[in-house]
Structure 1
Amino acid sequence: MNPWNTPERLALRQAVTAFTQTEIAPHLPQWEDDGLLPRELHKQTADAGFLAIGFPEEVGGVGGDTIDVAIATEATLLGGGSGGVQASLFTHGIALPHIVDSGNADLIDRYVRPTLAGDLIGSLAITEPGGGSDVAGIRTRAVRDGDHYVVNGSKIFITSGVRADFVTTAVRTGGEGHGGVSLLVIDKDTPGFTVSRSLRKMGWHCSDTAELSFDDVRVPAENLVGEENTGFYQIAQQFVSERLWLAICGYATAQRCLDLATEYAKERDTFGKPLSTRQVIRHKLVDMHARTAAARALTRAAVERSVTASKSDTSMILDAVIAKDQAVACAEYVATEAVQIFGGMGYMRETEVERHYRDVRILGIGGGANEVMRDLAAKLMGL
């Protein structure tokens, strides 16, 4: 049986699509203008059973694996959602896994359960000004002082950083390099912790993004995630999931753009005939379909492998990197061609493809830039 089309997963796809079409898509233009999602959407999504997909029931999740996460992501985008909605509504997908894997019952009870219930919003803070993809170069410092760590430094490009109640934060607790990095959960209302500014972006307008500042922030030592100085390895273990999610967003956005462009080409008359009768447009749509199908097949194969592969299987890293690379290229190409097919209307903010055109640009930067990913792929290939 095709694991993507079991009765349960078909029902999941239909339910998420219906939720998106009624609770998200009609409000998305306003949320884009507002620059953030309403907090109540988290609770709505949790109550509908979709916020905690992929998290174990024993920590407050609803179960499921990466295939279920992929199906929900696809359905959201194909139902009229956006990459910005996915990034902001499901930021806990990168903020919580380290806590869950640590097995720390106290942290799970204080942060994981209420977040999956839609009562809290969490984010992940790794990137620093001038740091980019260099996770081993973290400079935000956490110095142990009795039962607390005193944190000083700054973070940038933090998704959901404006609305977050807590931030899983990469800090330097040891010496230079990857061996001196740790993870601390820092509550937003802790004295000295401020949102320096809310950042305006090219795309993902409905997803708030922040610059954060830490000035002698005292964090309880009990908020340490895992062992001290193991943060780099914890972060690296989650890279495969993040890159696969970005790849899923890539091919799903491409499919949505293809669907919109196809429908528009059938409806739009040019010189007395539908645009879809023009050979050049027909060939564009065929090429868009072929690239989307290829990216979807490659990514889904990697997703399926991730469900059964062990975390020590380094070949999974290569699979995720290549899937992301191909899906990003597909999304950028298809979104560009969709705007071209829409013509002048494709340049208007009222047209959905215009939003996707802006949104997909981040996919080749976030989760590891294209250039970093290709260099990593070469190393994994033994080159």
Structure 2
Amino acid sequence: MNNMYFTEEHNLFRKSLQDFLQKEVVPNIETWEKTGSIDRSIWKKFGDMGFFGINYPEAYGGLNLDLFYTVILLEELQKINSGGFAAAIWAHAYLAMTHLNAEGDHTIKQKYLAPSITGDKIGCLCITEPFGGSDVAGMRTTAVKEGDHYVLNGSKTFITNGVYSDYLVIAAKTNPELGNKGISIFVVDRDVDGISATKLDKLGWRASDTGEIAFDNVKVPASNLMGKEGKGFSYIVQHFSLERLIMGVNAHARAEFALEYALKYMSERQAFNKTIDKFQALRHNVADLYTDMEICKEFNYSVTYRLNKGEYVVKEATMSKLKATKMADEVIYQCLQFLGGYGYMEDYPMARLLRDSRLGTIGGGTSEILREILSKIIIDKKEYKPAT
């Protein structure tokens, strides 16, 4: 383990997390992958262990720890080979809860953040729309002010925890004529009238519930507005750094898991009277893949270090997601090849890894969008600044 970033306390946390996952999660993964539904009880167990409160204030039940504890959580979740379960956990803890903590007032934090930390409430973040995709500014969902409440209409799609969550953090246009300057953020209870959700059938991430959500004249109390009206786009962009870094860390972790599994298999698999890890063509391929993985991992740790210090690392986090997710797809594709026919079998981990990894270059901003953002930063000298 890299002692530049991880202390003995970090390492003890990793061991405790590994033991917890092996005892409480791994025995249930196959069932959850088949049903597409995660038992509610596991959320409470995560909360009891403090895993949802890693980065959140002690005033609301959090632990207020540094971001490298989050890196450990993300890495270990990838190594139990259920991208869907991992996504359900981190989408709650670092998408929905990030907005609650950053933009929610004290009342909202007491009502939603505190029970999210304990695992009593599950959240989802609703930004992507059927017609918008990565075009956040082009969203069509509206929230029209009427007295002491807003009326919400529109739809969202590809929402992780979109079916079984207890509350929704929603981006909507309060002033559509202002474009991205007219977007606001709300938190809404699942059980209010006018909200309906449809579960989507996916290639991978089978354990998670990904939903398409419709809002039909949903009445949202004005007190459920988070932050300032019209500042929603700035809030979303500001949190992209964490979201993209999370997906970069996820990518290097699953690539590392794939390589570790493939190397173990290759050390046991015999062909032509020797184990296949002795064949030069395969050895050199592994060396290239491992190098790519390690470079991404070290870069991600460096970006984590800077983000943890409060730096605005939107460029570096965008690079992290762009490079690491592409690397993970390539590594896992080759690791499946190392296993030959067995790599194609569902009894081995590579088939699921390959499916789950494929979303990395799509979710949280496609690679094409990320390249355009980086082009603007690098070529056009565009500057992105924190929300004020």
Same fold (TM over 0.5): yes
Alignment match, 1:335: 332
SS in 2 for 1:91: helix
Which residue identity lines up with residue 69 of structure 1 in the other structure? T
Please name the residue that 2:159 is paired with: 158
Distance in 1, Cα, partners of 2:175 & 2:57? 32
Aligned to 1:88: 88
Amino acid in structure 1 at the alignment position of 2:283: R
Aligned amino acid, residue 318 of structure 1: K
RMSD: 1.4
Within-5 A mapping of 1:198-347: 198-310=199-311, 313=312, 316-347=313-344
Q: For residue 183 of structure 2, what is the amino acid of its counterpart?
A: V
**2:33/2:82 contact within 8 Å kept:** no
Cα displacement (A) at 1:325: 1.3
Structure 1's unaligned 5+ residue stretches are none
Which of 42-51 and 289-298 deviates more? 42-51
Letter in 1 for 2:42: L
User: Identity percentage over the alignment?
Assistant: 37
The Cα shift of 1:271 comes to: 2.8
Return the alpha-carbon distance in structure 1 between the equivalents of residues 314 and 6 of structure 2: 26
Report the Cα offset of residue 75 of structure 1.
2.2
The CA distance in 2 between the partners of 1:112 and 1:299, in whole Å, is: 27
Distance 2:4 2:236 in 1: 29
Corresponding residue SS for 2:156: strand
Q: 2:191 matched to 1:186?
A: no
Q: 1:81 to 1:116 in 2, by over 3 A?
A: farther
Equivalent runs, 1:42-61 vs 2, <5 Å: 42-61=43-62
The separation in 2 between residues aligned to 1:252 and 1:164, in whole angstroms, is 26
| Deviation by residue 1:18-48 (Cα, 9 ceiling, x = unmatched) | 1122222222111100112111111111112
Q: How far apart in 2 are the matches of 1:352 and 1:101?
A: 37
Contact 1:24 1:81 in 2 (8 A): no
Matched, 1:352 2:353: no
Alpha-carbon contact 1:140-1:152 (below 8 Å) kept: yes
Residue identity opposite 1:231 in structure 2: G
Tell me, yes or no, if the aligned pair for 2:74 and 2:90 is still in contact at 8 Å.
no
Q: Alpha-carbon deviation of 1:3?
A: 4.5
Which whole-Å deviations, capped at 9, do the CAs of 1:329-373 have from their partners, x for residues lacking one? 210111001110111111111211211111111111111110111
Which amino acid in 2 is paired with 1:91? A
When normalised by structure 2's length, the TM-score is: 0.94
Provide the residue aligned with 2:33 in structure 1. Answer: 32
Decide which moves more: 141-150 or 239-248.
Answer: 141-150
Alpha-carbon distance in 2 for matches of 1:236, 1:341: 40
Of residues 374, 379, 382 in structure 2, which corresponds to 1:377?
A: 374
What is the match of residue 115 of structure 2? 114
Q: Per-residue deviation at 1:174?
A: 0.6
Shift, 1:81, TM fit: 4.0
1:368 corresponds to which residue?
365
TM-superposed CA distance for 1:59, in Å, is: 2.6
Maintained 8 Å contact 1:12/1:72: no
- Structure 1 contact 143–151 (Cα < 8 Å) conserved: yes
Distance 2:331 2:182 in 1: 42
2:189 counterpart letter in structure 1: D
* 8 Å CA contact 1:167, 1:187 repeated in 2: yes
Shift of 1:103: 4.8
Q: Distance in 1 between matches of 2:171 and 2:302?
A: 31
CA positional deviation for 1:175: 2.9
* Superposed CA offset, 1:42-91 (max 9, x none): 1111112212212121232122122210112112223x243222210222
What is the DSSP-based 3-state SS (H/G/I as helix, E as strand, rest coil) of the residue aligned with 1:111?
helix
C-alpha distance in structure 1 between counterparts of 2:36 and 2:269, whole Å: 32
- Structure 2 residue identity aligned to 1:9: H
Task: Give me the whole-angstrom Cα distance separating, in 1, the residues matched to 2:34 and 2:100.
Answer: 33
Uncovered stretches (5+) of structure 2, i.e. residues with no partner: 381-388
Runs (4 or more) in structure 1 with deviation over 3 Å come to none
The alignment partner of 1:355 has SS state of helix
Query: Is the 1:55–1:61 Cα contact (8 Å) retained in structure 2?
Result: yes
SS for the counterpart of 1:64 is: coil
AA aligned to 1:50 is F
Q: Write the distance in 2 (CA, Å) between the matches of 1:364 and 1:164.
A: 25
- Judged with a 3 Å threshold, the aligned counterparts in structure 2 of structure 1 residues 186 and 103 are, in CA distance, closer, same or farther, namely closer
Tell me the CA shift for residue 202 of structure 1. Answer: 0.9
Q: Kindly provide the amino acid, as one letter, of the partner of residue 86 in structure 1.
A: A
Whether the aligned pair in 2 keeps the contact of 1:348 and 1:354 (CA below 8 Å) is yes
How far is 1:110 from its partner? 0.7
Following the alignment from structure 1 to structure 2, what is the Cα–Cα distance between the partners of residues 364 and 325?
A: 7
2: distance between equivalents of 1:136 and 1:199? 24
